[in-house]
Structure 1
């Protein structure tokens, strides 16, 4: 059976997206995404993997390993058929929140069984 999803992006919440992107760019050698701004910055890897950094007002850094403030990130997956992928993921235990910030023909937000949000995006 072929994989249902391919990991396409990882996005981290933070107080200063350009600064965090600069750190990871230096650490990884990924190329800066051309459409970065003060509220969202990103890095591209040659094989297409994207790491995003989004500004969050009142950001609280994770407390590792204490879970007083848990880790903050969400995953994005490319899929060929949004409807089929969504149906299968719901069968597997995902949920679909009422709030959908994207064009539903291009991307949808789901939550995993533990409540972590992730996006499925049409290739």
Structure 2
């Protein structure tokens, strides 16, 4: 089932941003302090990034589900984005019909 796994926020200073957002939302730090999650929950996390644009990360449970969801989203009007993927990429970059980037991630690769 496709779900919002993370909201990636572009910040100029991830230390300052994570301090603010952890207090504002009552989220706790994960092992990587740029990742914040609700206390005691596996709900949507916040990922603070100094290099990436603000976007949604949509999570799937397998590579097969990822490909099915990518095809479904393209049929709904999303478009694939030319991207320089690393060899071990677990994500596919798409845009919505308005041009907003988002990623579909295979979480089984973690």
Same fold (TM over 0.5): yes
Structure 1 alignment gaps of length 5 or more: 58-71
The residue that corresponds to 2:19 in the other structure is 22
| SS of aligned partner of 2:80 | coil
Aligned-pair RMSD on alpha carbons? Answer: 1.9
1:111 equivalent among 66, 86, 95: 95
State the alpha-carbon separation in 2 of the partners of residues 100 and 109 from structure 1. 10
**Ranges of 4+ aligned residues in structure 1 off by more than 4 Å:** none
Q: Gaps spanning 5+ residues in structure 2: where?
A: none
Q: Which has the higher contact order (CA 8 A, sep 6+)?
A: 2
Which residue number in structure 2 is paired with residue 5 of structure 1? 2
Equivalent residue, structure 2, for 1:89: 73
TM-score of the pair, normalised by structure 2: 0.81
The answer to whether residue 35 in structure 2 is matched with residue 42 in structure 1 is yes
SS of equivalent to 2:32: coil
Q: Number of paired residues? A: 101
Q: 1:101 to 1:50 in 2, by over 3 A?
A: farther
More helix by share: 2
- Hey, what's the Cα distance between the residues in 1 that align with 2:101 and 2:25? 25
| Structure 2 partner of 1:78 | 59
